[in-house]
Amino acid sequence: DGVAVTLVFVDGRLQQAISRGDGERGQDWTRNARQIPALARTLPSSDRLILQSELYWRRPAHIQASAGSLGARSKVAGRMNRQHLSDADAAGIGLFVWAWPDGPASFTERLNRLAHLGFTDSQRYSHPIQHISEAAHWRTYWHTHPLPFASDGVVLHQAVRAPAKRWQASAPYWAVAWKYPAAKALALVRKVKFKIGRTGRIT
């Protein structure tokens, strides 16, 4: 449950960090992104690297089913939009890479290469499945077990995806989000107040 961001690395250094925005135009978060420890390091790569990712708020041992999201996404977005990102806030932001458009064709190899570059969350929280029942297992498991971040569901991702030149600013056909069940609560209405405007309209 983070904030989507496109990362561009050139010669191993972060050159741009762009938020998703409205899907076609995003905000330039590069200055603040360079303060985040997960992004500030130099990568062991001299290639131009474009990664589709999410910035998330670190919440050790967070259990989504009982704690909910606690405004985690808003916390990250708010801090990234500030004029200055403090060291403490920067340390509280983690990174999950969910796609490498120009990466290796093999999904397993992409995860291995990302882990080698230091982006280990992608590999740690990805599991191969053969049947929808396995997806249901992991969805329930991550909903009820500790994670280091808030999450609103799982993503089912085909091993094969379209080449980078065919990517668009829309939901891809090779991935789908399976959200957690909506939280339910019983409420008791104790009182209702009606306002009557100067024209007699009741709201």
Q: What is the pLDDT along the chain (203 residues), one digit of tens a residue?
A: 889 999 999 988 999 999 987 767 788 999 999 999 988 778 887 788 999 999 999 999 999 999 998 899 999 999 999 989 999 999 999 999 999 988 898 889 999 999 999 999 999 999 999 999 999 999 999 999 999 999 999 999 888 888 888 877 677 888 899 999 988 889 999 999 898 888 888 87
* Half-sphere exposure (Cβ direction) of 21: Cα atoms closer than 13 Å: 12
What confidence score (pLDDT) does residue 140 get? 96
Report the C-alpha dihedral over residues 102, 135, 55, 23, rounded to 10 degrees.
60
Residue 139: count other Cβ atoms within 10 Å of its Cβ. Answer: 17
- Which pTM value belongs to this model? 0.83
What confidence score (pLDDT) does residue 23 get? 67
* Residue 5 near residue 18, CB atoms below 8 Å: yes
Measured CA distances, 173 to 156, 170, 176, 177 (Å): 11, 9, 7, 11
* Residue 58 near residue 88, CB atoms below 8 Å: no
